[in-house]
A and B are shown apart, each in its own frame.
Chain A
Amino acid sequence: AQSVTQLDSQVPVFEEAPVELRCNYSSSVSVYLFWYVQYPNQGLQLLLKYLSGSTLVESINGFEAEFNKSQTSFHLRKPSVHISDTAEYFCAVSDPGNQFYFGTGTSLTVIP
């Protein structure tokens, strides 16, 4: 079975500072990796994903994540956060059977 661990439940950071949200996974099979973002009173939205190819993937709003197979990690980073980045962030993996496994989420709060 697959599992996802998000090491930080809450991350406060000042506006324009860098941030890293950590994600580790365990799996005995090849998986796809995802980061989802959830704004208040909304469903989860895909932020970025790794399926194959380059291990560094980027989103349109400046986030990036790097797949590290040896460390089984997929940490999310942004060099300079904005107030609008305040949200809940979920790391997820999917297996060949299209089953999705989510972490417990990290609440990112950007402080003005």
Chain B
Amino acid sequence: DAGVIQSPRHEVTEMGQEVTLRCKPISGHNSLFWYRQTMMRGLELLIYFNNNVPIDDSGMPEDRFSAKMPNASFSTLKIQPSEPRDSAVYFCASSLSDSNLHFGNGTRLTVT
């Protein structure tokens, strides 16, 4: 099992540019989560999918953020336009119901 795979590992972009983060969950898992981690706010849940359907997106900061899960093996988190305050480490995690979360190694985003 390759685990949760996130790409890219690092992303540096200029303010105003579009950023797309990618995630491949563990095969067979039916839930997928996007988290953001910063020193100031810690670990924040952005959005949660169950069986490819968004269940809770109340953590998405604003309309500049969007997430999709077109199929069970792929999800994207898009920021358009990006701002310096979006700089953080973004984690994707997947799970089976009633099981623990398996995290990817994260994408470190820097917006200059």
Contact with B along A86-112 (1 / 0, CB 8 A): 000010101001111010110000000
Number of interface residues of B (CB under 8 A): 22
Q: Is the CB of A49 within 8 A of B100?
A: yes
Q: Mark B20-60, 1 if CB is under 8 A from A, else 0.
A: 00000000000101000000001101001010000110000
A-B contacts, CB under 8 A, total: 48
Q: In the complex the two chains form, is A99's CB within 8 Å of B42's CB? A: no
Stretch at the interface among B11-19, B65-73, B77-85, B101-109: B101-109
- Chain A: interface secondary structure? strand
**Which of B's residues lie within 8 Å of A, judged by CB?**
4, 31, 33, 42-43, 45, 48, 50, 55-56, 91, 93, 95, 97-98, 100-106
Complex A-B, nearest 4 residue pairs according to Cβ-Cβ distance, in ascending order: A43-B103, A104-B42, A44-B103, A46-B100
